[in-house]
Amino acid sequence: MGKPNVKLFMILALFVLLFNVGKYGVLETSDARYSEIAREMAVSGDYLHPNFLNIHHYHKPPLTYQITAIGYKIFGINPFGARFFLQIAIIVQIFLVYMISLLLFDDRKISFWASLIYFSIPLLFFSSRFLTTDIFLTTFVLMSIYYWIKYRKEGSYKYLYLFYLSLALGFLTKGPVVFIVPLPFVLLYNKLEPSKNKFSVHHIISFVLFLCTASSWYIYLIWHNREFLDYFIITHTVDRFSTNRFHRYEPFWYFLVYAPLVSLPWSVNLISLGIQCKSYFKKKSIYTVLLATIVIPIIFFSLSESKLILYILPIFGVFAILTAKIIDIIDIEKFKKIYFFNFIYAILLVSLFVIVVPFTKYSISISIVIFGLFIISGLIYLYRNKRMDIKNKVVILNVILAIFIIIAGTDVMGNNQLKIKSSKPVTDFIIEKHLRDRTILVYNTRKPSIAFGLNKSIISLKDGSKKLNRETQFETNDEWKKYLLDLKDPSGIKSLKEIIKNPTVLILYKKPLPKAYKWLEDSYKNKVKMDKWYIYY
């Protein structure tokens, strides 16, 4: 590896991340939900009251939706516009990982390795394909860590203000979880790096700045309706941690098992190499600080009732930095087995796409198969190259693997949209048949991807599905009832019969209409089946 050039790598990474990222439609559930909320925000111009299928939706602060809405203003309301700023956020994170590592170790080689390792962590590039809050949260988490290190090392108060501002923006992205990674890092790092300043008015002002910025949206809502106070504190903070109110049934060991899996092969690398140099993990060492910043959040989320794999995404910047440093200090002889493991893992994974996928129900472009064969040849050449340092080779190998998986995975998703919970072929059909201007009815399921794909409001027909249970306590009028008809209520049936007097499109997913609704089916002349979808018009 030549002289480290992180800027050049960032350009390459951005190109790879943006390549065909809009090829497939938004996916149920989270990707479609966040994309649709941002679409409604962009269309309505109301950037403070998020709406989801025309009903207020306050589960998350608005910053993710606001950033995504800007993407729509630039690129239009489409999957590329929804995901564009995700990729920009990842590029910023790569740079932050590089800069944090440079501050901690003052070594450009280690810092460059850290940025490459971070890019090649599967959970990171997996999360770049779907819109969620976690990518943006991770950006602000890493930003806060960077500015805290700068403040402790240099003593300039501007970094203290930027630290608190970063936390505030993270709070406006996903609430109190913004503290879960930076807090253990700050508390432990402070023991290694004494403060350059005594307590002063700047500490008070910067903290007040954080409080005012972080709470601004919440205070605005509570000022207009006191019920929001209980809603945010109890429903979306206490209950999310201590109860299963949001119906996520993963066991305690969920993160203990899946965290290593979604970071392969780096998790194996870090664990095996870390054990070999465990003497470095002293009570007061940067190794211990970084390890604790990884482990403590995993324990915290394991204790929580609510578990999703992307919750732990913010730990992986620190994970990459620690891994890069461990690689630097480990003896070359001890590294050879690790490199062989990484090589075999990469070959098997690429072979999965090249050999196995074409014989499954999933379609893959022949160009990707050819690209995969080329990558396998390149990996073999790299493995046999005696001139390159083995540590550089293992990092480069995993970057090559990541690039291939991103490009190949995006191709597979684009060619198999109905199989990966994208409704784009359905909405494309409706548009091609000039049916978009009709009232769109979706029976007994929540499908925001339909509203997004058609860029219009839809009517959900609730017939007992819990997925269509909505929080309507913050609605100020009955306008929302136009978009959610309860068919268990006679008034809902009456409203539906009035609606279908005019041309409509009825969409079903997985199951055909029950016999009790034959009168509804008979009101349509045409029926088309697309995989698990039924379209009546």
The tens digit of pLDDT for each residue in 265-313 reads: 999 999 999 998 888 898 889 999 999 999 999 999 999 888 899 999 9
3-state secondary structure of 436: coil
With CA atoms as reference, report the closest residue to 448 among 421, 474, 428: 421
Q: What is the pLDDT of residue 236?
A: 66
How many Cα neighbours within 13 Å face the side chain of 96? 23
Residue with tokens 């029950």: 514
pTM of the model: 0.94
With CA atoms as reference, report the closest residue to 134 among 323, 309, 321: 309
Q: How far is CA 429 from the centre of its chain?
A: 29
136-140, 147-151, 301-305 — which is least confidently predicted?
301-305
pLDDT tens string 354-396: 888 888 888 999 999 999 999 999 999 999 998 888 999 999 9
Q: Compute CA distances 310 → 19, 108, 116, 128, 263, whole Å.
A: 22, 29, 20, 11, 12
% pLDDT > 90, the chain: 86
Instruction: Report whether pLDDT(252) > 70.
Output: yes
Q: What is the pLDDT of residue 305?
A: 80
CA angle 421-425-426, nearest 5°? 85
Mean pLDDT of 456-466: 95
Q: Detail the DSSP E strand segments found in 354-468.
A: 439-443, 459-462
Q: What is the pLDDT of residue 357?
A: 85
Q: What is the pLDDT of residue 245?
A: 56
Q: Which two tokens stand for residue 427?
A: 């909405």
Residue 146's pLDDT band, with cuts at 50, 70 and 90, is very high
**Which residues touch 12 (CB under 8 Å, ≥6 apart)?**
none
Q: What is the pLDDT of residue 175?
A: 94
What is the spatial distance between Cα 482 and Cα 230, in angstroms, rounded to a whole number? 28
Instruction: Report whether pLDDT(472) > 70.
Output: yes
What is the spatial distance between Cα 167 and Cα 213, in angstroms, rounded to a whole number? 9
Q: What is the pLDDT of residue 350?
A: 95
How many Cα neighbours within 13 Å face the side chain of 192? 18
What is the spatial distance between Cα 152 and Cα 190, in angstroms, rounded to a whole number? 8
With CA atoms as reference, report the closest residue to 480 among 490, 495, 466, 494: 495
Q: What is the mean pLDDT of the chain?
A: 94
233 versus 22: which is more confidently predicted?
A: 22
Instruction: Report whether pLDDT(459) > 90.
Output: yes
Residue 239's pLDDT band, with cuts at 50, 70 and 90, is low
Instruction: Report whether pLDDT(423) > 90.
Output: yes
With CA atoms as reference, report the closest residue to 447 among 438, 439, 457, 437: 457
Q: Compute CA distances 442 → 2, 417, 433, 460, 510, whole Å.
A: 56, 19, 18, 5, 12
% pLDDT > 70, the chain: 97
SS3 assignment for 280-343: HCCCCCHHHHHHHHHHHHHHHHHHCCCCCHHHHHHHHHHHHHHHHHHHHHCCHHHHHHHHHHHH
